[in-house]
Amino acid sequence: MSGGGQPSEAAAVMSALVPLPVILPLCAAGLKLAIGARLERLQRFISAGVLAAVLVVSLVLLVAADRHGPQVMFAGGWAPPVGIVLVADRLSALMLVISSAVTLCVLVYSVGQGMADNDEVTPLSVFHPSYLVLVAGVSDTFLAGDLFNLYVGFELMLTASYVLMTIGGTLSRIRAGATYAVVSLLSSMLFLAAVAMVYAATGTVTMAQLPARLDALPDGVGMLIHIALLGVFAIKAAVFPMAAWLPDSYPTAPAPVTAVFAGLLTKVGVYAILRTQTLLFPGHRIGDVLMVLALLSLLVGILGAVAQTDLKRLLSFTLISHMGYMVFGIGLATHGGISGAVFYVAHHITVQTTLFLVAGLIERRSGTTDLQSLGGLARLSPLLGVMFFVPAMNLAGIPPLSGFLGKLGLLRAGIDDGGALAYVLVAGGTATSLLTLYALAKAWNLAFWRAPTPEMCAAGTVLEDTEADSDDDEDEDEAALGPYTRSTAPHVVLDRWEPAPVRRRGAATFGGQEITTSATLPPSMTVATAGLVLFGLAFTVLAGPLFSLTDRAADELIARTPYVEAVTR
């Protein structure tokens, strides 16, 4: 727990390790740009090696932060108000471990996808450097010890994400990317304005110095800054009123890109909200507002998911919905709530990423993710069925799995809190869990469980009502009027119907061409997805130790002093 007692050399080594999750990917990205499209094997080796190294460093940092308190690095030896500080406390280190494990798996998957599509030149020269910069940006936001560095981390991550979102430059991706880029840019501008407000009010942007100075501010000023920061982070985290950009933009990107965005980018927003609520403005009235937003997120998101017929969009809406759980825990601001929220973030990053990767595999198997056109995948590809079913049930919260444990922790924290709002949230959370199960079961039934061939599917789903009528003449009438499902009676005014919009064409490769479908799944993609499924299951097996870790992280967050002392000592 305490920072004292460790030998100074060990502390120096640890301090040197802190910036590595940011520096390593950045250097690798530069190296890759220098190499260009040559030496494919070396390129892949560099990416995978660097991300594996980041994973190891993160694990070491997690152990160190858990045993000896927050690990701090002062860039260039400058003291906090002037220099850049990177801090790895339990929360940051845990986030780093999860994010680096997930990004490593997604990298392996994307290499597999590139090989399967034979477009190795385009993605390697653009995709890999952007992806590594994205990883560096995510690490930087987790480690940032001051608000301005947090802003820079966000920008690093977002700029890379614009490139990844519009990679290949097809029309649909440009369209989706425009929405995404404009919303993200606007939130960044507002963030910078909020940072300016913080600096004007307190004279510092170092997070360790802010608690004392913010507490000393007049109520109105503090409230204004608080709302500005939360508003910005809520856009990043896609909490309900600010979530409309997400399902519009995410599904058009290539599968691995969508997966890593869904897993990490929104969670970075949640991380920033968590820091704001615990370190900067603890015990504030705004917690109630957060809870209301969480409730709206939960319900609106999941109702949106129920209405979708495209698997990727369905998953995007469940993503918005489940953001509500984490914000709920943060809004409670109790020990149990924060611990549950951290656990849920860890669980959700993994599961949501896995589901999007599986959606990519489904696309590879059948050429589409439109649930109406899919069918019989459980028979055609049992492995795919298992890889979808396990994380789907995990997300819905079926008992032995970590989704259930995370929700249980949050709901129990809500009941312990005992307020009326908390009980409403508990009810809303339970309803959302059931509706998630409904939406995913619907997806399962349509894509996996019904009869395989499209013709059989059509035959099986259309003839529902004619059996009810027994009279021959009536059947003739029905026949005369054509299949009634095509709008029926003679008095229909045809002009009412405008020409329908065309279905989104599956342009799923990095280069934006039609994907190469195959009956057998590419091995490296399958291995990466299966690895993530197992990683998600590991949370179930290791739920005890993980929950005690998040409990300790919550202790540290609520106490505030370990973080502040580690930086200002």
Partner 1 sequence: MTGTLALVCCGGVLFASGTALLMARPLTRILLGIVLIGNGVNILVLATSGAAGRAALLYPDSDPGRMADPLPQAFILTAIVITLAVTAFLVTMAYRSWQHSGNDDVPDDIEDIRVVRRATYAEERERLRAAYRKRRHEYRALARGEEEREAREHSAYQRLGTARDRYREMRRRARADARVFRARQARAEETAEEIEGEDDPWQTILGADR
Interacting residues with partner 1 (CB under 8 A): 82, 148, 152, 155, 159, 162-163, 166, 169-171, 174-175, 177-179, 181-182, 185-186, 188-189, 192-193, 195-197, 199-200, 247-248, 251, 307-310, 313, 370, 372-373, 457-458, 461-462, 473-474, 476-477, 480-492, 494, 496-497, 499-504
Across-strand partners of 87? 72
Closest C-alpha among 412, 238, 403 to residue 337: 412
Shortest reach from residue 532's CB to partner 1, in Å: 26
From first CA to last CA, the distance across the chain in angstroms is: 16
Of residues 416 and 476, the one with the C-beta less far from partner 1: 476
Shortest reach from residue 177's CB to partner 1, in Å: 6
Shortest reach from residue 192's CB to partner 1, in Å: 5
Kindly tell me the number of DSSP H helices and DSSP E strands found in the chain. 25, 2
- Cα 57 → chain centroid: 22
Shortest reach from residue 67's CB to partner 1, in Å: 35
Stated as kind and residue range, the H or E segment containing 27 is: helix 20-35
Of residues 335 and 504, the one with the C-beta less far from partner 1: 504
Of residues 238 and 405, the one with the C-beta less far from partner 1: 238
Whether the CA torsion 176, 31, 357, 394 is positive or negative: it is negative
Shortest reach from residue 29's CB to partner 1, in Å: 14
Residue 145: how many other CB atoms lie within 10 Å: 29
Of residues 400 and 483, the one with the C-beta less far from partner 1: 483
Of residues 218 and 490, the one with the C-beta less far from partner 1: 490
CA distance 533 to 358: 10
Instruction: Indicate the DSSP class of residue 381.
Output: -
Shortest reach from residue 541's CB to partner 1, in Å: 38
Of residues 74 and 484, the one with the C-beta less far from partner 1: 484
Of residues 160 and 393, the one with the C-beta less far from partner 1: 160
Of residues 12 and 171, the one with the C-beta less far from partner 1: 171
Q: Which residues are CB-contacts of 2 (< 8 A; sequence separation ≥ 6)?
A: 68, 69
CA distance 127 to 256: 11
Of residues 164 and 259, the one with the C-beta less far from partner 1: 164
Stated as kind and residue range, the H or E segment containing 156 is: helix 147-165
Shortest reach from residue 488's CB to partner 1, in Å: 5
Stated as kind and residue range, the H or E segment containing 86 is: strand 85-88
Residue 45: both structure tokens together:
């080796």
**Phi, psi (degrees; rounded to nearest 5) at 246:** -70, -55
Residue 276: both structure tokens together:
């704001």
Residue 232: both structure tokens together:
């910005």
Contact (CB, 8 A) for 505 and 116: no
Phi-psi region of 168 (alpha: psi -120 to 50; beta: other; left: phi over 0): left
CA distance 448 to 376: 5
Shortest reach from residue 246's CB to partner 1, in Å: 11
Of residues 54 and 377, the one with the C-beta less far from partner 1: 377
CA distance 491 to 494: 9
Shortest reach from residue 199's CB to partner 1, in Å: 5
| Residue type, position 183, single letter | V
Of residues 215 and 474, the one with the C-beta less far from partner 1: 474
Shortest reach from residue 25's CB to partner 1, in Å: 18
Shortest reach from residue 185's CB to partner 1, in Å: 5
Burial class (CB in 10 A: 0-12, 13-18, 19+), 40: middle
Shortest reach from residue 418's CB to partner 1, in Å: 39
Of residues 420 and 493, the one with the C-beta less far from partner 1: 493
Of residues 2 and 487, the one with the C-beta less far from partner 1: 487
Shortest reach from residue 169's CB to partner 1, in Å: 5
Shortest reach from residue 358's CB to partner 1, in Å: 20
Range list of H helices, 373-511: 377-380, 382-396, 402-417, 420-444, 454-462, 472-480
Of residues 166 and 394, the one with the C-beta less far from partner 1: 166
Looking at beta carbons, which pairs linking 445-450 to residues 24 or more positions away fall under 8 Å? 446/371, 446/372, 446/374, 446/375, 447/311, 447/362, 447/371, 447/374, 447/375, 447/377, 447/388, 448/374, 448/376, 448/377, 448/378, 448/384, 448/385, 448/388, 448/389, 449/376, 449/378, 450/375, 450/376
